Structure 1
Amino acid sequence: MTETATTIVGILFGFAFYYPLFMSYLWMTGGLYYYRHYERHDRPYDEPPPLPEYPPVSVLVPCHDEAANIAETVAALQALDYPEIEILLINDGSVDDTGSLIESLAAHDDRIRVVHLARNQGKAVGLNTAAMVARHDYFLCIDGDSLVDPHCLKWMMRHLLRSPRVGAVTGNPRIRTRSTLLGRIQVGEFSSIIGLIKRAQRTYGKVFTVSGVMVCFRRSALHDVGYWNPQALTEDIDVSWRLEVRHWDVRFEPNALCWILMPETLRGLWRQRLRWAMGGTQVLFAQYRVLTRWRHRRLWPIYLEYFCSVAWAYAMAIIAALFVIGLFVELPPMLHVATLVPAWSGLIIGTTCLFQFAVSMFLDSRYERGYGRYYYWMIWYPLVYWILNVMTSVVALPSVVLRGKQRATWKSPDRGIRPANIP
């Protein structure tokens, strides 16, 4: 029994150490291959290639308490370099001045239409409502606080026009809120973690999720999967999986830029990351059958990747718990954790993290000048965000089980300290 327990403990500690190292090098390898195979030969992001045709696009913007942001969001949409769009603003039970503001915006632009929902029913219901009244067969869906790049739609539409099996194209979000340590770390995170992972996933198989802050859909693909699920906490993860289970392709387009606001307080960051973790956990429960079907084998890597990330979070939580228990109770030597302060293993992981950040910032440097000045802030990433990710993943699992099938409604997020203009 002691030998078995020792083996289990060895596996626990080995998994906690080697898993992030393995995934880091896997992401770097996949990201660099993506860059060499897809991205390297692209034009500059502000010079999109000509398309064989320019079908009209409906822009869906669900809004809940967006009075502080919606005017500049709409202004960015009005500046889109695309021949024909309509802008659908869905006021989902806002209690601020969002309703009157969007009515005023619609009065000055006949491309804008407004729909008011009497009460807060959630982003998925807002998107479904907009989809039902949209005139066109392609949807650009954005959040009510996002600023899209003028050329993003052309970059995204090239995928949808090249292949009839492409159901969705996700863009490349960039962080606007950079006034605090948390904001600056997120600049690197969206490049080295989110952007790099999407490149790697596109290389190895399927993309785990579109970025709900800006994504372009084919209407027929959404119709095939029943549009957005009102019970999903993260409608973007949920719809991505339902599309890919139905064999629709989901693409990542790094040239399709949008500028977004992110939390810059620990409370706001906790709420956001817990919702993300719960949304991912919902998918683990909802889509486990893909592992039993050979026709869904291309989804196995991203399912197992997320499953292992949750398992890693629990492994780290167990190690931390053993350390705390050992302060008060004498544990067997094999369970004794002397310290949580990183030693040589922490040095290896920290060096690998900085290497990963350097690779990802190289890949993203073509989209933003002066990007390297945020590199040195990233030394704090493992300390701040790994602890946060462990805690949210551990809390998310029982929260999803206890939550059941409630409808997901809106809550106004922390959007940081807004800059005067785009960096």
Structure 2
Amino acid sequence: MSTVSGNLSDLLHVPRQLISTNELLTVLWRGLSDLVCDYVFYYPLVMAHVWMLGAILYYLAWERKEGDTVDDMPVMRAPAPGVSILVPCYNEADNIQETIEFLLQQRYPNFEILAINDGSRDETLSILNDLAKKRKELRVVNLASNQGKAMALQAGALLSRHEFLVCIDGDALLAPEAVSWMVRHFLKNPRVGAVTGNPRIRTRSTLLGKIQVGEFSAIVGLIKRAQRFYGRLFTVSGVIAAFRKSALHSVGYWSNDMVTEDIDISWKLQLKGWDIRFETNALCWVLMPETLRGLWKQRLRWSQGGAEVLLRYSRDILRWSARRMWPIYLECLLSILWSYLMVFVLSGWIVNQFVHPHYNIAELIPDWPGMLLSMTCLAQFAVSLAIDSRYEARIGGVSRYYYWMIWYPLVYWLNNVGTTVVGFMRALAKERGQRALWVTVDRGLGKK
């Protein structure tokens, strides 16, 4: 791969009067294109090694000491602190009964369930009311109109009876041991404000579903382990997270004008000095999109939400007290820059191939660097799936999805580049204070 320095050194040996403007522009263009291509290539390569190293260190420091299976849950000393499980619902008639029935199987001695119906237009409310008549653990809160997930969560938190809250989505299945695993963090350290769980993919009937199984291990799970080891998490998982109510109260609860309330509350808590933990044994089985359209809409919302957080807290992050958040903030900025430069490289490659071959740009897929990047990607998936294998041992493990990961760069990198670019522009254009309402999302084609 050529470099800018080489082009400029050659240029210096030519008399200035013999250098034409076109030649100078050509050299500068080639130098800029090489610099951009180097960044586009080396950024994911470096970050993959950073995440792998952090995840391995996290595993060695904490994870391997926690028993051989998730069934080895911590013993809660009597009397166990009360826990309120919040389930915000919007048009969940197809899933809510299964979700509540799973919650009732929690192996925790003292809990209540608050289902918050956020103005659903289907039969969600009637199903919840029927379930509440049969089970005393369930209470139903009805919001007459769609107020958004953040408002539904806040209503549930204010009406809850207990200090510790566990929040899941209305289509998620929470493992029976999950509450016990998360509560232990609050009891061990009073500075813990939130605990994020470990989402597992239910929908695996298509190529996209199978790839997401690997993605949630190699990307989501690996990054969360690394970020936890390095000090701060970008976000809790919106589908499964636990909170200390007093911590939520200290930051004003969830913001109702942010597209992704989970990213926002994570930053608010950590900027206030609260700690966030990652509990790998708190499993929660979730539904994910299995169509390209559904995947685009989901990742676009995630990207816009992340950009909104970066813009809103850009001043707060500069304080010395927020210094432990600086690496997270910088990495987010670099990832956005990488996406825009990736668009530049792709556009330049197209121009070079089909429009104006005179302006040469570095090869889109270099020879040995491309092989190195491919091997690093496969190594990242291998490390993460090896660490994650015990969490799905009862259903055949996750190693069988390894060979599907060859499609990940093609499907997800291009999708993530597009959603990052569009999401950041949407975040810039959005008016502050605009209510973020809940919409029905793609839930996959099957539940295998």
- State the distance in 2 between where 1:342 and 1:284 align: 33
Equivalent in the alignment of 2:246: 220
- State the distance in 1 between where 2:30 and 2:280 align: 46
- State the distance in 2 between where 1:246 and 1:7 align: 44
Q: Are residues 292 and 6 of structure 1, via their aligned partners in 2, closer, same or farther at CA, if it must alter by over 3 Å? A: farther
Q: Are residues 291 and 124 of structure 1, via their aligned partners in 2, closer, same or farther at CA, if it must alter by over 3 Å? A: closer
Q: Which amino acid aligns with 2:392?
A: E
Equivalent in the alignment of 1:414: 442
1:310 pairs with 2:339: no
Q: What secondary structure sits across from 1:168 in the alignment?
A: strand
Equivalent in the alignment of 2:419: 392
Cα distance per residue 1:393-417 (max 9 Å; x no partner):
0111111112222211111111112
1:181 maps to which of 183, 207, 223 = 207
Structure-to-structure mapping, 1:193-232, within 5 angstroms: 193-232=219-258
Q: Comparing 317-326 with 245-254, which one deviates more in the overlay?
A: 317-326
Flag as ranges the 4+ runs of structure 1 deviating above 6 A: none
Structure-to-structure mapping, 1:321-340, within 5 angstroms: 321-330=347-356, 332-333=358-359, 335-336=360-361, 340=364
CA contact (8 A) 1:326 1:337 kept: no
Equivalent in the alignment of 1:281: 307
Equivalent in the alignment of 2:400: 373
Q: Which amino acid aligns with 1:363?
A: I
1:349 maps to which of 355, 367, 373 = 373
- State the distance in 2 between where 1:349 and 1:320 align: 17
- State the distance in 1 between where 2:51 and 2:362 align: 30
Q: Which amino acid aligns with 1:40?
A: R
CA contact (8 A) 2:33 2:361 kept: no
Q: Which amino acid aligns with 1:416?
A: G
Q: Which amino acid aligns with 1:94?
A: S
Equivalent in the alignment of 1:111: 137
- State the distance in 2 between where 1:254 and 1:22 align: 25
How far off is 1:119 after superposition?
Answer: 1.1
- State the distance in 1 between where 2:279 and 2:357 align: 51
1:167 maps to which of 193, 196, 201 = 193
How far off is 1:295 after superposition?
Answer: 1.6
How far off is 1:20 after superposition?
Answer: 0.4
Structure-to-structure mapping, 1:112-151, within 5 angstroms: 112-151=138-177
1:24 pairs with 2:51: no
1:46 pairs with 2:71: yes
CA contact (8 A) 2:271 2:317 kept: no
Task: Compute the TM-score of the two structures, normalised by the length of structure 2.
Answer: 0.91
- State the distance in 2 between where 1:104 and 1:291 align: 47
Structure-to-structure mapping, 1:208-287, within 5 angstroms: 208-287=234-313
How far off is 1:327 after superposition?
Answer: 4.4
Cα distance per residue 1:307-359 (max 9 Å; x no partner):
111111111100111122334542654x5355x45643322211111100000
Cα distance per residue 1:4-23 (max 9 Å; x no partner):
55443332111100000000
Q: Which amino acid aligns with 1:14?
A: D
Cα distance per residue 1:183-230 (max 9 Å; x no partner):
000000000000000000011120110001010000000000000101
Q: Which amino acid aligns with 1:135?
A: R
- State the distance in 1 between where 2:51 and 2:128 align: 42
Task: Compute the TM-score of the two structures, normalised by the length of structure 1.
Answer: 0.96
Which structure 1 residue ranges, 5 or more long, are not aligned? none
Paired residues in the alignment total 418
Q: Which amino acid aligns with 1:410?
A: W
How far off is 1:38 after superposition?
Answer: 0.6
Aligned-residue identity in percent: 53
1:83 maps to which of 101, 109, 125 = 109
Q: Which amino acid aligns with 1:121?
A: Q
- State the distance in 2 between where 1:343 and 1:88 align: 56
Equivalent in the alignment of 2:13: none
Q: What secondary structure sits across from 1:61 in the alignment?
A: strand
- State the distance in 1 between where 2:140 and 2:50 align: 45
- State the distance in 2 between where 1:248 and 1:65 align: 33
